[in-house]
Chains A and B, each alone.
Chain A
Amino acid sequence: MNKIAPHPAATTVEPFVGRGVSRPNARRLVEGRGTYVDDVELPRMVHVAYLRSPHAHARILRIDAAAALDLPGVVAVVDGRQLAETCAPFVGTLSHLAGMRSPPQHAMAVDRACWQGEAVVAVVAQTRAEAEDALQAIQVEWEVLPAVTRMDSALEPGTPVIHPDLGSNLCFHREIDSGGVDAVFAAADVVVEETYEFGRHTGVTLEPRSVLADFNPAERRLTVHHSHQAPHMMGDLYARLMGIPEADVRVLCKDVGGSFGLKVHAYADDFATVALSVLLGRPVKFVADRLESFVTDIHAREHRVKARLALTRDGRFLGFDIADLTGVGPYSMYPRTSAVEGNQVINLCGGPYDHPHYRATLDVVFQNKVQTSQYRGVGHPVACAVTEGIVDLAAATLGIDPLELRRRNLMADDSFPRKGASGILLESLSHQRCLARLEEMVDFAALRRDQAERRARGIHRGIGIAVLIELTNPGAAFYGTGGARIASQDGATVRLDPTGIVHCASGVGEQGQGTETIFAQIVADEVGVPMDRVRVLTGDTAATPYGGGTWASRGAGIGGEAVLQASRQLRANLLEFAAVHLELPVERLRIAGGAVIDTAEGVPLMDVAELGRLAHFRPDLLPAGFQPELVVTRHYAQRDYPFIFTNGIQVSHVEVDVETGVVTLLKHWVVEDCGRVINPLLVDEQIRGAVVQGLGGVLFEECLYDENGLLRNGSMADYLVPMAGEMPDIEVAHVETPTRSSELGAKGAGEAGTAGAPAAVMNAINDALRPFAVRLTSQPITPEKILRALHPHLAD
């Protein structure tokens, strides 16, 4: 019998799941040794630059590119019509969003450009600089068409229709009605009503969108290096639009420099770049520069929501009545569409609260602006700000403390599983426990005393609360049922190598959240090896199980469960193998610390590496007919609910300078229930990072357009994102309600911060300004808006 020296911690190994271990794969990033797409250079690689429409809406009368072709380094000049021969058009609709419409979109504009920034001509050259030089030599003759810019007049009769075939600028309309809403509002003691506006903003990943397409004509195989969240989805789309078998398309996502949903979409530029590689038979690289990022990256959140809330005199919520209008650009984004954000807004308004009646309408309209689509939080920041804003208005109207009004109306922790009034299914939430945890964290009485004391001295501080729910771990309800080939299932393959290393390959990738780290923690625990014996591979469609990738906060909950199931089975296989080899009953054995342990004697019997060695090199020593299986693949799809909801509460403490309108963020608190916490170090930073993106949205970020549909602030100098100096410290606490839909119990944690922060800050500002009887409901809440509210007669 192979007895080995006892492993130091062989019998009492502390689990890795639940510990704040740091990320083994981050060392390369702090040393500047990561591999982002722009770092990859291939033989015969050329670069593409796109000539983009300078107009929001214009017909292309003539393109004269002859002069560009003669310039140094230029390899090809291709227009939209030529490219359409290689890349089929695409339509961004989902069949379960009934009645949704969007016209076919091309990789580059054909005949007509519909937003400022749409690619019209591609120049491929030896260097990006040469390609940009050649753009200057191209003449395009335009017929400028009237642009639809305002969403509120997009459906009016006098407004031009962007796509005449559709008959109107309506992309999608939906209504939810629980019934009896008019009667309830008519009979209610109190009805409060307010309109909330949300400025368009965008993700501003620090690494711009990047794609390096490498079509090899000899074998007709396509390899795409992509800065992306959903490599399998992209492989499928490239295959279908270019007519290449999916099996011959490989998508690689190494290091991704920020994603936030912005990089989950299929951009026209991606298709154009891949089509150019197919056309030219050589690698073509496209890296958006920052200026073109602002006019081609998806925007999000251009919404105007009218909200009404009916209550009893003692503050019981009776019903919400919501009308959301959102403008989404000229085409619905393919393949996830531009209607999901609005759809989520009307699904989620009023979501944390127990109320019997609900009515909501949604109008999604086309405009000649950049396309909008899913960005971190997707509708939640809007729904949360509307809900929490009007709850605060109700509290002020009734003279009830905002925290107390919420306490009276939150869904009780023991009322789950249940339905929300909008029809959403909720598995298990912990609003009451989160509220209790929040009150341990935040001394509200002291904050109120401080507020009163300072107010007397002309200093205006405010406290804002936001309760939220967040959908995570989606099933097929999001896309699959609507006909999009976007996997809701994900898989993991784990294997033991002869050296005793356990490899794990997952369809869910890493964009810095720590996905690979939490997978390594799960593998380590479930197989029974130290974490430094685990290697994780993601971001390669040729080497990982087919899966959906990273979106809707599904990485930990869906991908992690697949890793858990695969690892458990590998451990079972290893134990069976060890039992056969050691001639002991399998029940007597367990694996911990990388060793097979005899539970009867409490001693390690052999290292798992020895099992690897035997299986690979000495199968002759194994009993006849026994085949050890050291590779296991398992899949997981969450099928119990459409989504697994999380919940949380945030509090913002601000000071508003009523002379300048400047808001100072003093502190931010978060209580979050994302189910089982796999790695608190990583989860807390997901939450903090997400909160700050929400803070950017509520205070700074907006894509400003002029009346002609031209972006006025398309640079990082003019478009403001949060800087360190303006951001507060953020305190985070957890309540853990594991989901019962998986054995891992993890729910998503990546987006709730963004969902709740805008509402908390808006409420805090309005709380600060209560003595002035003004309310700010248009985000971003800029100093100018605050001063205009305080001084309504102020001249321009």
Chain B
Amino acid sequence: MTDKILVNMTVNGMVCERWIEPRLHLGDFLREELGLKGTHLGCEHGVCGACTVVVDDEIVRSCLTLAVQADGAMVETIEGKSESGALRDLQDAFLERNALQCGFCTAGLLLTADALLQAEPEADRARIRDHISGNYCRCTGYHAVVDAIETVGRQRRSGGRGHRHE
């Protein structure tokens, strides 16, 4: 067995310190060490995007990120982003448009969509489809997801950034 390593990171605003095996990926760290079950593991080889989290303001696949790589980082998950209200407009739009069914991919899609709209709130349907192509959804067929993201982009452009900076 490899020796454990001490990691220290800020997850959803809380500082946490753990001794962990170096092979532990960030997704398992969040789920098993911190009990943050909102991050879902769909493939664990970096394809499906369900496990997407935010590390130092960049979206990453938590299954392809070792927890030790996040040492000293600021990590945000769907739980933190929900509590802060940062995704409220997107969450509302997904609900209203029925842009989710089983919900397993949804956290990853919301975080990925938010990253796009922060950079390009004017993104059109083709751009939205392109940007979320790393997030597999097996239920919706994507049409409603694209609708919801497009709607929020429009809202954010017209100043209705809603809950972000209230």
Do A and B interact with each other, yes or no?
yes
- Chain A: residues with CB nearer than 8 A to chain B? 22-23, 26-27, 29-36, 38-39, 72, 129, 203-208, 255-260, 289-290, 511-514, 681-682, 685, 688-693, 715-717, 721-727, 729-730, 753
Residues of A within 8 Å of B130, CB to CB, are: 724-725
When chains A and B are docked, how far (Å) is the Cα of A33 from the Cα of B31? 12
| Chain A interface, >50% SS class | loop
Could you list 6 examples of A-B contacts with CB < 8 Å? A39-B37, A207-B102, A258-B138, A290-B45, A685-B140, A723-B133
10 pairs of A and B residues whose beta carbons are closest in the complex: A32-B38, A29-B103, A512-B101, A257-B104, A32-B78, A692-B141, A512-B102, A688-B141, A725-B133, A39-B37
On whether the beta carbons of A34 and B103 are closer than 8 Å, the reply is: yes
Residues of B within 8 Å of A204, CB to CB, are: 138
The contact string, 1 if C-beta is below 8 Å from chain A, for chain B 29-41, is 0010000111111
The contact string, 1 if C-beta is below 8 Å from chain A, for chain B 85-126, is 001000100111010111111110010000000000000010
Q: A512-B139, A730-B143 are in contact. Are A206 and B44 (CB under 8 A)?
A: no
Residues of A within 8 Å of B5, CB to CB, are: none
On whether the beta carbons of B77 and A32 are closer than 8 Å, the reply is: yes
8 Å CB contact of A682 from B47, B98, B110, B141:
B98
Residues of A within 8 Å of B134, CB to CB, are: 723
On whether the beta carbons of A730 and B103 are closer than 8 Å, the reply is: no
Residues of A within 8 Å of B155, CB to CB, are: none
Residues of B within 8 Å of A33, CB to CB, are: 38, 79, 82
Q: A30-B91, A206-B105 are in contact. Are A730 and B45 (CB under 8 A)?
A: no
Chain A proximity of B87: nearest CB distance (Å): 8
Chain A proximity of B42: nearest CB distance (Å): 5
When chains A and B are docked, how far (Å) is the Cα of A715 from the Cα of B141? 21
On whether the beta carbons of B79 and A32 are closer than 8 Å, the reply is: yes
8 Å CB contact of B136 from A129, A511, A716, A729:
A716
When chains A and B are docked, how far (Å) is the Cα of A255 from the Cα of B145? 20
On whether the beta carbons of B50 and A206 are closer than 8 Å, the reply is: yes
Chain B proximity of A93: nearest CB distance (Å): 30
Chain B proximity of A226: nearest CB distance (Å): 15
| Chain B interface, >50% SS class | loop
On whether the beta carbons of A22 and B129 are closer than 8 Å, the reply is: no
Chain A proximity of B156: nearest CB distance (Å): 17
- Chain B: residues with CB nearer than 8 A to chain A? 1, 21, 23, 31, 36-48, 50, 77-79, 82, 87, 91, 94-96, 98, 100-107, 110, 125, 128-130, 132-146
Interface centre among A22, A206, A681 (most CB of B within 10 A): A206
When chains A and B are docked, how far (Å) is the Cα of A38 from the Cα of B42? 11
On whether the beta carbons of A205 and B138 are closer than 8 Å, the reply is: yes
Q: A258-B138, A724-B146 are in contact. Are A30 and B100 (CB under 8 A)?
A: yes
On whether the beta carbons of B102 and A256 are closer than 8 Å, the reply is: yes
Chain A proximity of B99: nearest CB distance (Å): 8
On whether the beta carbons of A30 and B94 are closer than 8 Å, the reply is: yes
On whether the beta carbons of A724 and B107 are closer than 8 Å, the reply is: no
A72 to chain B: closest residue by CB: B1
On whether the beta carbons of A290 and B44 are closer than 8 Å, the reply is: yes
8 Å CB contact of B101 from A38, A39, A685, A753:
A685
Residues of A within 8 Å of B145, CB to CB, are: 724
Interface centre among B78, B98, B104 (most CB of A within 10 A): B98
On whether the beta carbons of A206 and B48 are closer than 8 Å, the reply is: yes
Residues of B within 8 Å of A681, CB to CB, are: 98
On whether the beta carbons of B96 and A22 are closer than 8 Å, the reply is: yes
Chain A proximity of B3: nearest CB distance (Å): 14
On whether the beta carbons of B142 and A724 are closer than 8 Å, the reply is: yes
Residues of A within 8 Å of B101, CB to CB, are: 258, 511-514, 685, 689
B92 to chain A: closest residue by CB: A30
Residues of B within 8 Å of A36, CB to CB, are: 37, 40, 104
A376 to chain B: closest residue by CB: B138
B144 to chain A: closest residue by CB: A685
8 Å CB contact of B95 from A23, A32, A260:
A23
Chain B proximity of A359: nearest CB distance (Å): 36
Chain B proximity of A756: nearest CB distance (Å): 13
8 Å CB contact of A723 from B21, B50, B77, B136:
B136
Chain A proximity of B81: nearest CB distance (Å): 8
Chain A proximity of B80: nearest CB distance (Å): 9
When chains A and B are docked, how far (Å) is the Cα of A651 from the Cα of B138? 21
Residues of A within 8 Å of B78, CB to CB, are: 31-32
Chain B proximity of A661: nearest CB distance (Å): 20
On whether the beta carbons of A716 and B48 are closer than 8 Å, the reply is: yes
Chain A proximity of B116: nearest CB distance (Å): 12
When chains A and B are docked, how far (Å) is the Cα of A289 from the Cα of B27? 14
On whether the beta carbons of A32 and B133 are closer than 8 Å, the reply is: no
On whether the beta carbons of A27 and B95 are closer than 8 Å, the reply is: yes
8 Å CB contact of B98 from A23, A257, A721:
A23
